[in-house]
Amino acid sequence: MSVGRRSIPFNRPYVTGREYDYLREAVATSHLAGNGRFTARCQAWLEERLGCRRALLTHSCTGALEMAAILTGVQAGDEVILPSFTFVSTANAFVLRGATPVFVDIRPDTLNLDERLVEAAITARTRAIVPVHYAGIGCDSVALGAIAAPRQLVVIEDAAQGILATRNGRPLGTAGQLAALSFHETKNVMAGEGGALLINDPAFVDRAETVWEKGTDRSRFFRGHVDKYTWQDLGSSFQLSEIAAAFLWAQLGEADAITAARLAIWNTYHDAFAPLEQRGFVRRPVVPAGCEHNAHLYYLLLPDPSCRCAVLKRLNEEGVNAIFHYVPLHTSPAGRRFGRAVGSMTETLAASERLIRLPLWVGMPAEDVHYVIDAVATALEHV
């Protein structure tokens, strides 16, 4: 099979067209710092659409995770359980508070934290469990909640990739006490940079607002609850600017259409690669029963690391910007210094060594999608 040379980027940020109108509106209000009218609109949308108790826009998902770490009160000597197959922010947020990340292996099917291995990693120092919803495919939050609740552990969902995905009818980010979303330009709904802390446990709401306001009671002051505002607690500059919030507001207005467009491409890939999976050349993503994913990304697992290297090389030579994903945190210099792994990390290592991600973005022409499909098939034929 031969394919003609093209140039297909891994990601191309989608712009709805309304962003420019809202940016002009934001500028016209002369309020460009955070916590203005566009922040309020976006937060209300998240609260209504997802059903969380409170949503606070942040400058990044990293910031939202750091807020969660402050709110849970983790400190030196505490431990937090999380997968090693994730971005560094998942661990960094807790290391910054002095806690130790305890890495647990992932499931071979969804590549999410393996809930069956979590109990063995719990010690008297464990304070939280941080599942990651990889590729917008939900973890088993029911099982994790059943483990956490009797031990009074906090569940903090890293739902960076999870906007508008559900598991058992429940939006990702609403099963744990806290959750973090990302609006980075690589995410389905984006603001260039940005994130949100979702608060589901009412016990965290008041303090979250203080932490979000740099540790002050500024919001209470503007509501007239106090006659001046001052430093009350830990906090930092976590807010998203109104410029970015205005951009995000346009994206949220088309969130359903964006998700549908991504799903159409994801399904085309998934159907096309079924014969290759049947022949043992690849393994496609697994979507568990009861999970409605959001097509955040499409990946393939190849038979071995050498095959992965060869396929990536050939795809990029053919103009297809396919890429690998996480280097396991437990194998990294900082991961070895700050954390520890419990049990075998076989699935984590296998996924890291065998996984490739394919281009997927709203507006991707059908001919480009089929070019990628043909290029993958051709690459595998030549391995």
Q: State the DSSP code for 136.
A: G
- The tens digit of pLDDT for each residue in 211-261 reads 999 999 887 777 777 778 899 999 999 999 999 999 999 999 999 999 999
Both tokens of residue 285? 């993503």
Per-residue pLDDT, 229: 86
Per-residue pLDDT, 338: 98
Per-residue pLDDT, 2: 45
Confidence of residue 6 (pLDDT cuts 50, 70, 90): confident
- The tens digit of pLDDT for each residue in 142-157 reads 999 999 999 999 999 9
Both tokens of residue 175? 């099963």
Strand pairing of 195-199 and 178-182? antiparallel
Both tokens of residue 210? 């203080």
Share of the chain above pLDDT 70, in %: 99
Confidence of residue 4 (pLDDT cuts 50, 70, 90): low
**Could you tell me the domains of the chain?**
19-253 (3.40.640.10), 255-381 (3.90.1150.10)
Angle at 231 between CA 227 and CA 233, to 5 degrees: 125
- The tens digit of pLDDT for each residue in 170-185 reads 999 999 999 999 999 9
What is the average pLDDT across 259-285? 98
Q: What is the CA radius of gyration of the chain?
A: 21
Q: State the DSSP code for 187.
A: S
Per-residue pLDDT, 222: 73
Confidence of residue 1 (pLDDT cuts 50, 70, 90): very low
- Detail the DSSP E strand segments found in 67-106: 79-83, 100-104
Amino acid at 4: G
- The tens digit of pLDDT for each residue in 72-122 reads 999 999 999 999 999 999 999 999 999 999 999 999 999 999 999 999 999
- The tens digit of pLDDT for each residue in 297-347 reads 999 999 999 999 999 999 999 999 999 999 999 999 999 999 999 999 999
82 has which bridge partners?
103
Both tokens of residue 63? 């910031």
| Contact criterion met (CB below 8 Å) for 281 and 307 | no
Per-residue pLDDT, 218: 81
The predicted model scores a pTM of 0.96
